[in-house]
Amino acid sequence: MEAYTIFRDLAILVIAAKFFGLVARKCKAPQVVGEIVAGLLIGPGVLGLVDQSQFITQMAEIGVVLLMFSAGLGTNLKELKKTGPAALLIACCGVFIPLVLGAIFYGCYYGFSPFGSMGFYKGVFIGTIMTATSVSITVSALKEMGKLQTHVGQTILSAAIIDDIIGIMVLTFVIGLKDPEMKPLIVVVQTFLFFVFSLVFGFISYKIFKKVDKRYPHTQRIPIAGLAYCFALSYIAEHYFGIADITGAYFAGIILCSIKDSDYIAEKMDINSYMLFGPIFFASIGLKTDLDDMTLPLLGFSIGFVLVALLAKIIGCGLAAKICKFNFWDSLKIGVGMMTRGEVALIVSQKGLSAGLIEPIYFTSVILLIIVSSVATPIIMKLLFHKSEQLAK
């Protein structure tokens, strides 16, 4: 492939994502929905204009990392401390209820298998796929509505980060159940070490950034160094600690959110994001979908899978929020905000595939879950915020 052929894909992706984003906004739906639909339309499933190439995947990965870095930069640390305990409970319920309900759903559809059999592990794994919340679409929708800094927004964000960590631990446990070489203890230790590392390394780099920022305020070097720092922490998190790169990027944002120029960094990141990487990330979710492999029994399974996955998060996280004294509407918002799935669900599925726990055909169900949750969440969130604003009047 010649280097210049990427420009064809980029031109189509950027213009289609922007166009359908605007159309979505005209229809009072959030822009990201339009961008995902754009990917679906130009992708191999419908028009076939753009394929899911390795380059697009890598650009999309940069897009999601920038999005999480930007979310981290906008974090209100005082608010995070306030939301911490509630977020922990919401995340725990948001992991374990989908895990259990997913396994039960698999049993109901294909018949229950005895403990320790292959069918049992497969069922548990279907539940595991349902655990990982992918908060980036919710973040983007909340940001668009200007609700990211609210108590509900911050709680969802904190809960999703904790959810991600617990979800990855569950994944390693489940795979470890089958494979005697994986030691669940190692995962716990790695996660703990990443926290210690983030605290120590984060504190040192925060001090350095603060000093440089004070000496050279509002210069190019601050956002550039911030960007490199975000990339570095994304890599370190995944490579050395087995934590998702987006968690590293989010931590990088949190570490830098208290320096004076954090808004200045965020502003430059946002321009990079909305011009190129953001639209590519959201459109690439649509691109991944090929509806040709769909058979009737699989379609039935997929519909059930999507419904269970969505309801399990709403029930699990919503109930936990209600226990933490959120009112009914805010609990519902948190449940709905936590129900989006994204690239983490695909990564989990890929790991399960290589461990022999699922067949490739189930990817279609996962992709359907990602699309339905990505399209539905922002719309429902918008309606819920609208509703509770009406009630407040």
Q: Name the residues that contact a second copy, by CB under 8 A.
A: 2-8, 10-11, 14-15, 18, 22, 54-55, 57-58, 61-62, 65, 220-221, 223-225, 227-229, 231-232, 234-235, 238-239, 245, 268, 271-272, 274-276, 279
Of the two residues 158 and 205, which places its CB atom closer to a second copy in the complex?
A: 205
Rounded least distance, CB 269 to a second copy, Å: 8
Rounded least distance, CB 7 to a second copy, Å: 4
Of the two residues 133 and 234, which places its CB atom closer to a second copy in the complex?
A: 234
Rounded least distance, CB 8 to a second copy, Å: 4
Decide if 142 contacts 67 (C-beta within 8 A).
Answer: no
Decide if 247 contacts 161 (C-beta within 8 A).
Answer: yes
Place of tokens 């059930």: 304
CA 334/CA 322 separation, integer angstroms: 10
- Going from the C-alpha of 97 to that of each of 114, 345, 365, the distances in angstroms are 21, 16, 19
Rounded least distance, CB 280 to a second copy, Å: 12
Residue 142 is which amino acid? Answer: L
Of the two residues 213 and 245, which places its CB atom closer to a second copy in the complex?
A: 245
Of the two residues 58 and 117, which places its CB atom closer to a second copy in the complex?
A: 58
Q: Which of 107, 108, 96, 103 is nearest to 132 (CA)?
A: 96
- Close Cβ partners of 138 (under 8 Å, ≥ 6 residues apart): 156, 160, 337, 338, 340, 377, 378, 381
Of the two residues 55 and 96, which places its CB atom closer to a second copy in the complex?
A: 55
- Close Cβ partners of 304 (under 8 Å, ≥ 6 residues apart): 105, 109
Q: State the DSSP code for 117.
A: S
Of the two residues 126 and 259, which places its CB atom closer to a second copy in the complex?
A: 259
Rounded least distance, CB 252 to a second copy, Å: 10
User: Which tokens is 111 given?
Assistant: 């018949």
Residue 257 is which amino acid? Answer: C
Rounded least distance, CB 363 to a second copy, Å: 16
Of the two residues 10 and 104, which places its CB atom closer to a second copy in the complex?
A: 10
Rounded least distance, CB 299 to a second copy, Å: 29
Q: State the DSSP code for 292.
A: G
Rounded least distance, CB 67 to a second copy, Å: 14
Of the two residues 267 and 293, which places its CB atom closer to a second copy in the complex?
A: 267
Q: Which of 290, 296, 281 is nearest to 368 (CA)?
A: 290
169 three-class SS: helix
Decide if 99 contacts 128 (C-beta within 8 A).
Answer: yes
CA 331/CA 183 separation, integer angstroms: 36
